[in-house]
Amino acid sequence: MPLRGGSIEKVRTLRDRARANIERVIIGKGEVVDLVLVAILCEGHLLIEDVPGIGKTMLAKSVARTLDCTFRRIQFTPDLLPSDITGLSFFNQKCQEFEFHPGPIFSQVVLADEINRATPRTQSALLECMEERQVTLEGETRVLPRPFLVFATQNPIELEGTFPLPEAQLDRFFLKLSLGYPSAQEEKAILKRFRDGSPLESLEGVITPEELLAVQRLCREVFVSEPLEEYIVAIVRASRDHDAVELGASPRGSLALCRAAQALAAINGRDYVIPDDVKRLAPAVLTHRLISSARTRLRGSSANEIVADVLRTVPVPVEEETG
């Protein structure tokens, strides 16, 4: 059954509180903050690709404080080991037994900074964590805290000394976002706001983890009509058949697009999904899941252009609004 009345209002109220709190630190990025909240409501992980100094780390810290969650930052470097992320067991001579020392991944919000600077072996340490929300070491499985969110960042320009993320890992990121440069007016506001110190230091939690988990469950009840389901499937299948694509989005991409549309509808006060929800989210959900053909890369075409072309060619369902 679709959400009604007070239930949907709880989601929108949570979005308003979270966005207002985050925007005490992050200026002029309301659209991006909404997409971050969509990922959080779907228990999805975020890949943020942008140049240094834009505010990627500040955004992750602001989200963690807003949600009153534990936060750890991992600086990815070529010499980082998997155990530096997951933790390790050591022999305690005093107790004469092995003890497990948890790594930074055992936090609710984890920032994997410059993730593509670590070796593939170290990057792979995140696969089980992101997909199954657990860590298996030496035959023992340890569950990660909930909620659990990975923010990963990478620089799209500086490629020297980096290791591209494998497709299996890219597919585990729910959304790929870019903050972009602020406008002149926004940059002036940043100067004023940070002149006497960072507002992040005084930022307090406005949402409890328990409240977040409850609202996450509500988002799954947002109604998706059959024509909208067919539209989502058609978009993802078109990404596989596109001439410029060597490998299109997987069924995980279809599911991510559907769940993201449910969350976007909910934070906008609707208990049903509309085509505009799907179209708005398709670039963030699909671009990192596409592998362009060599010919396309030579022409300089981007994954964003491919997704835009898919959205132009796939017919949009016409239906009456449910409400």
- For the packed helices 275-286 and 226-241, what is the interaxial angle rounded to 10 degrees? 30
Q: Is the pLDDT of residue 297 over 90?
A: no
End position of a domain, from candidates 221, 255, 283: 221
Q: DSSP alpha helices (H): ranges in 199-319?
A: 209-219, 226-241, 251-267, 275-286, 294-299, 303-313
Q: Is the pLDDT of residue 322 over 80?
A: no
Q: Is the pLDDT of residue 278 over 90?
A: yes
pLDDT category at 323 given cuts 50, 70, 90 is very low
The reported pTM is 0.89
Q: Output the pLDDT for position 165.
A: 84
115-146 burial: b if 16+ Cβ within 10 Å, else e:
bbbbeeebbebbebbbeeeebebeeeeeebee
- Lowest-confidence range among 155-159, 193-197, 210-214, 249-253? 155-159
Average pLDDT over residues 3-19: 81
Domain co-membership, 212 together with 270: no
Measured between alpha carbons, how far is 40 from 46 in angstroms, rounded to an integer? 9
We report the CATH number of the domain holding residue 301 as 1.10.8.80
Q: Are 25 and 200 in contact (CB under 8 A)?
A: yes
Domain co-membership, 145 together with 102: yes
Give the phi and the psi of residue 292 in degrees, each rounded to 5: -70, 150
Tens-digit pLDDT profile for residues 66-119: 999 999 999 999 999 999 999 887 767 777 777 888 999 999 999 999 999 999
User: What is the rounded average pLDDT for all residues in the chain?
Assistant: 87
We report the CATH number of the domain holding residue 184 as 3.40.50.300
Q: E strands of 103-178, at which residues?
A: 109-113, 134-137, 140-143, 149-154, 173-177
- Lowest-confidence range among 105-109, 124-128, 229-233, 279-283? 124-128
Residue 322 covered by a domain: no
Q: How many domains does the chain have?
A: 2
